[in-house]
Amino acid sequence: MAGTEGTGHGKIILLGEHAVVFGRPALAAAIPRGCRAEATFAAENRLSVSPWGVHVRADQAEPEPDRELLRRAFAEVCQRLPEGSRALCVEAVMEIPGGAGLGGSAALSVAAIRACHAALGVSASDDEVIALSLAWERVFHGNPSGIDSAMATRGGLALYRRGEPLAPVSAGGALALVVANSGEHGSTHAMVASVGRQHARDPIKTDQIFDAIAAVVQNGKTAIEAGEHARLGQLMDLNQTLLNTLMLSTSTLEAMCQAARAAGALGAKLTGGGGGGCMIALGRDAAHAEVIAEGLRTRGHDAFVVEVT
């Protein structure tokens, strides 16, 4: 099937989620898991996603709301393929959970878009892929900052600001991060909408929180470049406190962050939309991160270690 495959990266947000929707910077890192997709010619445009067991046809409305969102997102992409393109069957395999703050929806979109382009012989730039992915993401998230689409397409470790290209960041030393799933479904759409309402109600206070997060991000970038991981960990904790004031955490995520810190994590915070989904914790090195991950597993959470360089 060579030539008809596409992949999209999953990502974690190290610092800056939600404030990034309001124009502040955020730091994100791609993870080695994401989505793989394959496209073949078919009688109509359709998409299957495993292991979700979901199948949608671009032209046929779905009665179930989540499937209908997926169908509409896929239809947005199909409409933007070159005119006269043959219909395609896209089969995608998710390597990360959805609704977990790991950019699953953007990873799926980028894998599907790249598979379609490969099957049709379309050569598209990263920016074109990102633009298509954003059309998909707008269906799911309403007001995406674009960080997920940019990271799913380009990968790496980078600083992102809305409307600007990703600015790659080089780490002064490998970051050993634990990614652990609370098991609670987090709706990015609902969380972004909630922060939007808070901002509409009290713009001065909310902008102050966003500005504090922006300062954490800028300091975090310097800490990463200098390899100062203890400082980065403190900034992650501070970011978590600020996310808490925006009511984005849950008691489970808080308990997980506390457990990680008790196991010696340099810092811990939720990642992505919040309201459930995943948290991340920074270990001293990969072996220490594995100890933290094991502790979270014994509490019943899926956890894995990612090394970011």
Shortest CA distance to 186 belongs to which of 227, 243, 226, 110? Answer: 243
Contact 209, 297 (CB under 8 A): no
Site string for ligand PMV, 169-188 (x = CB under 6 A): -------------------x
Which residue from 88, 192, 266, 282 is in contact with ligand PMV, where contact means CB under 6 A? Answer: 192
Please confirm, yes or no, whether 207 is among the known catalytic residues: no
Q: Please, which residues bridge with residue 164 across strands? A: none
Closer to ligand PMV by CB, 45 or 188: give it: 188
Considering only 79-87, 144-152, 163-171, 254-262, which stretch makes contact with ligand PMV by CB under 6 A?
144-152
Which token pair is 80? 């933007």
DSSP 265: -
Indicate the helix (H) or strand (E) that contains 176: strand 175-181
d(CA 157, CA 93): 24
Query: Interaction with ligand PMV in 66-105: which residues (CB under 6 A)?
Result: 101-103
Shortest CA distance to 177 belongs to which of 269, 247, 52? Answer: 269
Closer to ligand PMV by CB, 107 or 292: give it: 107
Q: How many Cβ atoms from other residues are within 10 Å of residue 123's Cβ?
A: 8
Size of the site for ligand PMV (CB under 6 A): 17
Considering only 114-122, 141-149, 167-175, 261-269, which stretch makes contact with ligand PMV by CB under 6 A?
141-149
DSSP 20: G
Closer to ligand PMV by CB, 46 or 269: give it: 269
Q: What is the closest distance, in whole angstroms, from the C-beta atom of residue 141 to ligand PMV in the complex? A: 6
Catalytic annotation, residues: 148
- Residues lying near ligand PMV in the complex (CB under 6 A) are found at 13, 17-18, 20-21, 101-103, 141, 144-145, 147-148, 188, 192, 272-273
